[in-house]
Amino acid sequence: MAYLSSGRGLDDYVDWKRDIVFRDTAASSAIKVFFDLAGYVVADGGQTRVRVYSPSAELIWSRGKPGPGPSEFMRLRSAVRTAGGEVIALDNAGKLVVYDSAGNYRTTLRTGLMPTYGVRLLDPSTLLISGRRAGDLDSPLLHLFDLRTGSVRSSFFTTPPHPPRFDAAYRFNGWANAAVIGRDTLAVVFALSDTLYLHRFDGSPIGKLPLRLRGFRPIRTPAPRNDSPEAEIEWRNSYTTMSDVFPGPDHSLFVQYFNEKQVELAWGLARVRLGAGGIEQEFDLPETLRLLGVSLPDYSLYFLRLDSLESVTWSVGQIAR
């Protein structure tokens, strides 16, 4: 493999620093990664494994399997690590499993949310969980979970207005993700909307700004009513999904989206800046590598390459100055 370049349009904007090769046949595309100075916490939804790596990408421990029991997950979604080293993993059924820094199971917390989409660590005692209240079709999508009390403190960000014929799509394919920008501001993306929503940490709205992404295709047809997987694939191939948002250097944001082609995902990435006149775009690359995340404090960008049977590569770079 000869990487450290060919980032499909990214080369003009990213200084590539290194490639990290994981000799890992198990890792699937359904991964979420948490980055901190202690290394990486990988939540592999495809394999239902939480894997903790050192900064040099050595596997330290690995836990989890499918199921309802302790240290088992009903579709693993995401994981974070606290400043104290505890790893907290979230599954689709709203269960939070807490491990100590050595990977020993500590406890399970119930959020009352299902389905869930992701989790971010907002401050030492607060998780920002993306998901829906179990059984509530009109639930808010973002929830502040207090680790001290083990309960949801508040919820906000309801599904944006949309035509009624898209109700099913907005309920079952509409999720939200958020990035912390500044000391008290969240940048939120909703899966089916080409818009950036700004909220305070307490959930109060600040405003919303159009993103105007080149590769974005709005949803135009309702979700298929029949049970045909072929019809569902065709429908999913017809619109764009906003997948995530990450903080960037110099008060910028990275907004990620994807278009489905058959069952593969074509990842798009835009870098935007919040200016006085609205959103200023630094770049918008409709087909590029998937950004796994951004590690602070140096804003290293980790891109995923899944093109080898035996290994997975993360290409690491920083925005070119």
Partner 1 sequence: MVCRTNRALSALALLVAFAGTTHLLHAQGRPAAAMTLASNVRPERTVSALWVIRTADIVACETAAAELRRQLSQHGGSLQLTVLYLGGDTAVVHSFLRRERLASARVERGTERGLRRELADRAANLRTSPPLLVLSAAGVPQRVLFADVRTPEGRRDVDRLSTELNVMLSRTPMSRDVALTYYRGGEP
Stretch that binds partner 1, among 46-54, 127-135, 136-144, 283-291 (CB under 8 A): 46-54
Binders of partner 1 among residues 138 to 197 (CB under 8 A) are none
Residue type, 240: T
How far, in Å, are 20, 37, 126, 160, 290 from residue 79 at the CA level?
20, 15, 14, 27, 18
**Three-state SS sequence of 201-243:** CCCCEEEEEECCCCCCCCCCCCCCCCCCHHHHHHHHCCCEEEE
Neighbours of 184 (CB within 10 A): 11
CB closer to partner 1, 193 vs 241: 241
Angle at 221 between CA 199 and CA 284, to 5 degrees: 50
Q: How far is the CB of 193 from partner 1 (least distance, A)?
A: 17
Residue (85 or 218) nearer to partner 1, CB:
218
80-83 CB contacts, 8 Å cutoff, 24+ apart: 80/34, 80/41, 80/119, 80/120, 80/121, 80/127, 81/34, 81/36, 81/38, 81/41, 81/52, 81/121, 82/121, 82/124, 82/147, 83/124
Which residue of 133, 236, 271, 290 would you call a contact of partner 1, by CB under 8 A? 236
Residue placing its CB nearer to partner 1 in the complex, 21 or 265: 265
User: Which residue, 18 or 65, has its beta carbon nearer to partner 1?
Assistant: 65
**Token reading at 140:** 């808010």
Name which position in 154, 261, 280, 296 contacts partner 1 (CB under 8 A): 261
Q: Per-residue x/- marks for partner 1, 237-256, CB under 8 A?
A: ----x---------------
Taking the C-alpha atoms of residue 232 and residue 225, their distance in angstroms, rounded to an integer, is 9
CA distance 123 to 137: 28
Stretch that binds partner 1, among 53-61, 99-107, 192-200, 260-268 (CB under 8 A): 260-268
Q: Which stretch binds partner 1 (CB under 8 A): 40-48, 207-215, 270-278, 292-300?
A: 40-48
Least Å from the CB of residue 55 to partner 1: 25
- Does 28 sit near partner 1 (CB under 8 A)? yes
Q: What is the CA radius of gyration of the chain?
A: 19
Stretch that binds partner 1, among 12-20, 26-34, 128-136, 141-149 (CB under 8 A): 26-34
Task: Give the span between the Cα atoms of 6 and 12, in whole angstroms.
Answer: 10
User: In angstroms, what is the minimal distance from the CB of 303 to partner 1?
Assistant: 16
CB of 75 to partner 1, least distance (A): 7
Sign of the four-CA dihedral 217, 190, 91, 42 = positive
What string marks each residue from 78 to 107 as x (binds partner 1 by CB under 8 A) or -? ------------------------------
- The CA distance from 76 to 87, in Å, is 13
Among 9, 75, 198, 283, binds partner 1 (CB under 8 A): 75
What is the size of the binding site for partner 1 (CB under 8 A)?
31
Q: Which residues of 2-28 are buried (b: 16+ CB within 10 A; e: fewer)?
A: ebeeebebbeebbebeebebbebeebe
* Site pattern 6..25 for partner 1 (x: CB under 8 A): -------------------x
What residue ranges bind partner 1 (CB under 8 A)? 25-30, 45-48, 66-67, 75, 227, 229-230, 232-233, 236, 241, 260-265, 306-310
